[in-house]
């Protein structure tokens, strides 16, 4: 246990030092009071979150450390735009923590039932269909998919596969109607794999996969027009980034673009490589939580979370390397789009809740074996 | 806020230019080792808990050529029973489908059985299929399960009695279903060699529901006639069977150990 405690202390110390230095450079350069405040506030907020709420709510500290690091990198990247942009990004991250707790509470205490699963499915479909219905440009896609995954897992754990698949299919159609091809592909794969994990029926899984491919093929053949999409190659921009930034002048220039590219242009390619590594640590932790979960509902929920985050990460990597000729989205947790950030923290909260549930089950077993002595 | 002079900035940046990426890589590596450390601690905790994640065991009363009598299986809280090796409980007997039924433990009720489509089991003489409500026929300590040609008895950990959630009776409905006398021959003749547990099913009675567990004496397992007090293992994290008493203990069937030839 001492080794574990010192390992935790080392992680916290590394996070504090890294982010304190990372904001110190632009603060010294520009003299902005906002950046000076962030030099102290960002490490302090990380320390407080890892020490107090994580302990009180039994949040999973290893995935929380990775997630907070990604948030900090997002704030760092925003500081390259302007100090106010960095402040806005930090406020977004703080407000997103609420959804972390919401996800943790929901996954830990939710008891699957058919009425609850139907309600959550309808709410999730409403969120996905929001741009279609309201005509607004605000997309609640990621939150809707997270809740729909939650409902789908509830249906599967109650052995009601058909209603779950029906709702998932409606979600897929809604995504295709909005021309969200990548999100639809991610959702389709997630549904098929969750069905296979929950039911173990190989033949029906292949049938579901075939149906998904057929729907996709029909959509791409009839409705999809690639000429209407403006594609900008990313690989040349990324390969042009130096591993270590040579000139300090870059930091004071206002720049635009995705947070990921901003991070690379201001802090070098090495920091860029850390982003997929941190995400893979979160996914590894999620897989570990899923394998240790006692109930099939929690195991499938953790697996679904890993799938949603992992498939999105892979799709962004494919787009950044121009293997998918589409405009790259944002990595999970490294985004400035508020609904997406809230959804990512909600998914992370689900993992934390299941991890704390696993710990509680372990303690219960220890208590039972003591009672039997 | 004052802005630092150019020369100081150049010196600082020269340091940070290499220090920051190095710190980023170090942070990622430290988080990775923290993750490994958490996993290791969990495995150590689990290794020190006997019967971790299980609720008891299923003892074979009558099996087949591939399944010896008195073989016992640790029963997890949730899983699948079937004939294929990917199942949580593998019963290689005739009449057992590849995935015969799902089961899950419910505190305060017992072990609920959910047969798959086209599959049937007998729980304490009652036929349970995919159309039967699982909560009406839960398995409790001493319950007898007949699946295919195999007959098994469930032994629950006695400490489950002490969780404060009593298993009062298997039937949730106020009106219990009429007692069904099992058809002749539904139980193999050699079942008569195993004295019924207190309150468990007896072919001679028409009341088929086991008594509440608080009437039974407790040990690590609730006492059974074929497992005497000295056979019950001590809760010390050791393996289920001790070498000196292995000849009198039921042989544990662990498909992983069978695969390794242990």
Length of chain B equals 262
Residues B84 and B90: beta-carbon distance below 8 Å? yes
Mutual angle of helices A2-30 and B6-47, in 10-degree steps: 160
> Quick one: CA torsion of A350, A353, A358, A362, rounded to 10 degrees?
180
Residues of B in contact with A22 (CB under 8 A): 20
* Nearest CA-CA partner of B133 in B172, B166, B101: B172
Question: Would you state the pLDDT for residue A306?
Answer: 95
Looking at residue A1, its pLDDT comes to: 61
Percentage of chain A modeled with pLDDT above 70: 87
Asked if A7 and B17 come within 8 Å (Cβ–Cβ), the reply is no
B 130-159 → A contacts, CB under 8 A: 157-159
Contact indicator for B13, A252 with CB cutoff of 8 Å: no
Nearest to B26 among A7, A14, A66 (CB): A14
* A291: closest chain B residue by CA: B39
Chain A residues within an 8 Å CB radius of B57:
none
- For the record, the structure tokens of A295 come out as 């109930």
Cα A93 to Cα A74: distance, rounded to the nearest angstrom = 9
Q: What is the pLDDT of residue A134?
A: 87
Query: Positive or negative CA dihedral for B87, B88, B94, B95?
Result: negative
Question: Which is nearest to A73 in space by CA: A152, A147, A15, A125?
Answer: A15
pLDDT tens digits along B88-129: 899 999 999 988 999 998 888 889 999 988 899 999 989 998
Q: Which residue of chain A comes nearest to B78, CA vs CA? A: A295
The string of pLDDT tens digits covering residues B180-229 is 444 444 444 444 444 444 444 333 333 333 333 333 333 344 444 333 33
Cβ distance B102 to A7 less than 8 Å, yes or no, reads no
Answer yes or no: are the C-beta atoms of B125 and B182 closer than 8 Å. yes
Closest partner CB to A18 (pick from B27, B53, B218): B27
Asked if A7 lies within 8 A of B30 by C-beta distance, the reply is yes
Alpha helices in chain A (DSSP H): 2-30, 33-51, 53-56, 61-79, 83-109, 114-128, 130-134, 141-157, 161-177, 181-199, 202-222, 235-239, 259-267, 269-292, 296-320, 338-371
Q: Do B24 and A270 touch (CB under 8 A)?
A: yes
Residue B247: CB atoms within 10 Å: 8
Q: Which residue has the higher pLDDT, B163 or A192?
A: A192
B103 touches chain A (CB under 8 A): no
**Residue A159 in contact with residue B114, Cβ under 8 Å?**
yes
**Whole-angstrom Cα distance, residue B103 to residue B82?**
11
Pairwise pLDDT comparison (B46 vs A344), residue with the higher score: A344
The pairing of beta strand B54-62 with beta strand B150-156: antiparallel
CB nearest B78 (choices: A15, A61, A295): A295
The DSSP string of A312-350 is HHHHHHHHHTTSS-S----BTTB---HHHHHHHHHHHHH
Q: Give the pLDDT of residue B60.
A: 92
What's the average model confidence in pLDDT over A77-82? 82
| Selected residue with higher pLDDT from A221 and B242 | A221
The angle subtended at Cα B11 by Cα B6 and Cα B15, nearest 5°, is 140
Tokens of B257: 């150990």
Q: Where are the alpha helices (DSSP H) in chain B?
A: 6-47, 255-260
Query: Mean pLDDT throughout A119-142?
Result: 90
Q: Mark which residues 162-191 of B lie under 8 Å from A by CB.
A: 162-163
ipTM above 0.90, yes or no: no
Chain B environment of A365 (Cβ under 8 Å)? 49, 51-53
Q: How far is CA B153 from CA A325, B78, B204, in A?
A: 60, 17, 18
pLDDT at A247 (0 to 100): 54
Chain B CB contacts of A285 under 8 Å are 35
Sign of CA dihedral A161, A164, A170, A173: negative
- For B49, half-sphere exposure in the C-beta direction (CA atoms, 13 angstrom radius) is 22
Q: Nearest-CA residue of chain B relative to A284?
A: B35
CB proximity under 8 Å: B 63-92 to A: 77-78, 80, 86
* Confidence label for A269 from pLDDT (cuts 50, 70 and 90): confident
- Cross-chain Cβ contact B34/A11 below 8 Å: yes
Q: How many CB pairs under 8 A join A and B?
A: 150
Whether the predicted pLDDT of A196 surpasses 80: yes
- Hey, which residues does B157 pair with through a beta bridge? B221
Q: Indicate the pLDDT class of residue B234, thresholds 50, 70 and 90.
A: very low
Q: How many CB atoms lie within 10 A of CB B236?
A: 9
pTM attached to this predicted model: 0.79
Give how far Cα B145 sits from Cα of A9, A86, B54, B120, B131, Å.
52, 64, 18, 11, 18
Closest CA to A92 of A256, A354, A336: A336
- CB within 8 Å: B31 and A69: yes
Residues of chain A neighbouring B49 (CB-CB closer than 8 A): 362, 365-366, 369
| Average pLDDT value for residue range A179-185 | 89
Q: Judge: B20–A271 Cβ closer than 8 Å, yes or no.
A: yes
Q: What is the mean pLDDT of chain B?
A: 68
């Amino acid at each position: 246990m001492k080794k574990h405690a010192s390992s935790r202390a080392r992680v916290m110390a590394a996070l504090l030092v890294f982010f304190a230095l990372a904001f110190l450079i632009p603060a010294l350069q520009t003299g902005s009071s906002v950046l000076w405040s962030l030099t102290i506030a960002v490490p302090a907020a990380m320390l407080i979150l890892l020490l107090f709420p994580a302990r009180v709510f039994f949040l999973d500290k290893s995935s929380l450390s990775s997630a907070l690091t990604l948030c900090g990198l997002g704030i760092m990247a925003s500081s390259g735009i302007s100090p106010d942009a960095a402040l806005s990004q930090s406020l977004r991250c703080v407000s997103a923590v609420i959804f972390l707790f919401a996800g943790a509470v929901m996954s830990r205490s939710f008891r699957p039932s058919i009425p609850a699963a139907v309600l959550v499915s309808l709410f999730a479909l409403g969120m996905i269909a929001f741009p279609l219905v309201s005509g607004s440009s605000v997309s609640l896609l990621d939150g809707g998919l997270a809740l729909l995954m939650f409902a789908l897992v509830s249906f599967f754990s109650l052995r009601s596969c058909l209603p779950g698949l029906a709702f998932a299919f409606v979600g897929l159609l809604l995504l295709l109607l909005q021309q969200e091809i990548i999100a639809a592909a991610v959702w389709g794969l997630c549904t098929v794999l969750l069905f296979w994990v929950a039911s173990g029926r190989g033949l029906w899984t292949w049938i579901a996969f075939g149906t998904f491919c057929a729907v996709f093929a029909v959509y791409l053949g009839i409705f999809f027009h690639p000429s209407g999409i403006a594609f900008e190659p990313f690989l040349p921009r990324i390969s042009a980034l130096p591993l270590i930034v040579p000139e300090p002048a870059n930091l004071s220039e206002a720049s635009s673009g995705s947070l990921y590219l901003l991070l690379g242009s201001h802090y070098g390619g090495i920091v860029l490589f850390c982003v997929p590594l941190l995400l893979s640590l979160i996914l590894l932790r999620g897989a570990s939580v899923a394998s240790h979960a006692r109930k099939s509902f929690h195991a499938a929920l953790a697996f679904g979370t890993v799938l949603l985050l992992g498939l999105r990460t892979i799709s962004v990597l494919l787009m950044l390397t121009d293997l998918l000729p589409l405009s790259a989205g944002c990595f999970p947790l490294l985004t400035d789009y508020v609904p997406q950030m809230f959804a990512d923290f909600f998914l992370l909260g689900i993992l934390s809740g299941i991890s704390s549930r696993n710990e509680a089950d372990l303690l219960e077993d220890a208590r039972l074996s003591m009672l039997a002595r | 806020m004052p802005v630092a002079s150019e020369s100081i900035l150049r010196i600082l940046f020269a340091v940070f230019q290499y220090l920051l990426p190095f710190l980023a890589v170090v942070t990622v590596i430290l988080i990775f080792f923290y993750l490994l450390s958490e996993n290791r601690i969990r495995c150590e905790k689990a290794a020190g808990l006997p019967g971790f994640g299980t609720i008891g065991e299923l003892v074979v009363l009558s099996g087949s050529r591939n399944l010896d009598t008195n073989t016992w299986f640790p029963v997890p809280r949730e899983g699948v029973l079937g004939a294929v090796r990917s199942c949580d409980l593998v019963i290689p007997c005739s009449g057992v489908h590849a995935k015969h039924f799902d089961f899950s433990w419910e505190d305060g009720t017992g072990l609920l059985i959910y047969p798959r489509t086209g599959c049937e089991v007998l729980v304490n003489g009652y036929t349970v299929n995919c159309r039967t409500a699982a909560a009406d026929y839960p398995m409790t300590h001493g319950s007898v399960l007949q699946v295919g040609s195999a007959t098994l008895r469930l032994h629950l950990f006695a400490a489950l009695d002490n969780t404060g959630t009593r298993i009062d009776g298997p039937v949730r409905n106020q009106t219990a279903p009429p007692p069904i006398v099992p058809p002749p021959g539904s139980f193999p003749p050699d079942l008569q060699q195993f004295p019924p547990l207190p309150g468990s099913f007896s072919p001679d009675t028409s009341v088929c529901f086991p008594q509440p567990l608080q009437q039974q004496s407790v040990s690590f397992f609730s006492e059974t006639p074929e497992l005497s007090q000295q056979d019950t293992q001590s809760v010390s994290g050791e393996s289920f069977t001790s070498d000196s008493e292995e000849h009198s203990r039921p042989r544990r069937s662990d498909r992983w150990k069978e695969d390794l030839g242990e």
